[in-house]
Amino acid sequence: MRVLVTGGAGFIGSHVVDALRERGHEAVVYDVRDRPGADVRNPTAVACALAGVDAVCHQAAMVGLGNGVADAAEYVSRNDLGTAVLLAAMAEAGVRRLVLAGSMVVYGEGRYECPAHGVVRPGPRAVTDLEAGRFEPNCPVCGAELSPGLVGEDAPADPRNVYAATKLAQEHLSAAWARSTDGTAISLRYHNVYGPRMPRDTPYAGVASFFRSALERGEAPRVFEDGRQRRDFVHVRDVAAANVTALEAGSRPGTLTAYNTGSGEPHTVGDLARALSAAYGGPEPLITGEYRLGDVRHITADSSRLRTELGWKPEVDFTQGMREFMRTH
């Protein structure tokens, strides 16, 4: 296959390009890092890039939690307008296969169970609770403590910040494109991706990158809240392999199918900081009690659908991945 990879010079996109080429596919990189005119919001440039292409792997996006709503217009422009321009060009060019870089942020909080009321969906955490160090969401019915679990793809979407809203909009746009063109669309809902080439020292870098940078400066990683937030940290090579698997498998024409893409092994943010500190030889993490509005408490993946339906499985375990991450950039 000849595959156009938008954002193909970026963190995840560059690994997707590598994985495609290793599987014998031709990867065409489309990225503003290589060429300033290679913006997915540029209809002429996108149309030219699609010439002779069999499929698109859409990685280009503005990522991260951002700054409240101050940068909402930029997120919408890059993520949603860019996706709309790309999809329109694909429809015109007759390209009918898409894999989208989705995100677990579309769920908001993860899956919770109340001893009395079963599965419940807590609302956004109150500032007064966060200020007081009450980080765990409680049952919205009775106020009881909740047990976090793995969230499946059928969970209702509940984006809690601007970035999350744009990622959900990308899925809706892609689903509309699939219906109108009889195309096949897959959204891989990435969980917390880390690994070589991860952005560093920018407002949109991931938490693993921030922790590593602190350690390299000789500083303790600063862990927000109490460090017990549960996440699913998945290595970028495993994510790249999932993209190739999805491109090769395709899906039912006229629909968008979403797949959680995670390691399936929950770890806390404190676990992450301690693993990186151990790999680097210290210092130990500092639990700060600070918080960010818009962050969710727990979100971990049930990736069994991707394993069962497409035969993908992660290969890099947490400890191995963290050691490698501290050695590479």
Looking only at the bridges linking them, the beta strands covering 97-103 and 233-235 are: unpaired
Q: Which residues have a catalytic role annotated?
A: 163
Q: What residue spans of 23-124 are helical by DSSP H? A: 43-49, 72-75, 82-93
| Amino acid identity, position 282 | G
Residues 159 and 74: their CA atoms lie apart, in Å, by 17
Residue 246 DSSP one-character state: H
Residues 166 and 74: their CA atoms lie apart, in Å, by 10
Helix axis angle, 269-280 to 318-327, nearest 10°: 50
Q: Under a CB-based contact definition with an 8 Å cutoff, are residues 119 and 163 in contact? A: no
138-146: long-range contacts (C-beta < 8 A, 24 or more apart)?
A: 139/112, 139/114, 141/114, 141/116, 141/117, 142/114, 142/116, 142/117, 144/114, 144/115, 144/116, 144/117, 146/112, 146/113, 146/114, 146/120, 146/122
